Amino acid sequence: MATQNTDNNPDLVKRLKGAGEDAIQKLGDVPGGKIALDALNGLRDRIDDLQKRMKRVDELEKRVEALEKAAQKPAPSKRSSSSSRPAPKSTPDNS
């Protein structure tokens, strides 16, 4: 089983980061590279937008779950209240 030195990991990350930046710069220099970079940036923006929408959907799903749980509970028994009885008829004063 191979063991890895954790001290080299940050150096490796820095090297990969630098290589990625160099690759992106070189991609911008090749014909059609600018179009590809613009497409990738547009994709990133659309993914960010999708993430925001999904967050709103998650919030709505939580609200729906709460409403479904509330709907499954038995409704409280309604007693007859004074509003359900007809109002007493008032007699006009014959004075």
For the segment 32-75, what is each residue's pLDDT rounded down to a tens digit? Answer: 888 888 888 899 999 999 999 998 998 999 999 999 999 988 76
pTM of the shown model? 0.41
Burial of 33: CB neighbours in 10 Å, binned 0-12, 13-18, 19+: middle
Element at 86 (helix H, strand E): none
In the chain, what is the straight-line distance between the N-terminal and C-terminal CA atoms, in Å? Answer: 110
Q: What is the C-alpha to C-alpha distance for residues 40 and 86, in angstroms, rounded to an integer?
A: 70
- Going from N- to C-terminal start, the domains of the chain cover 26-72
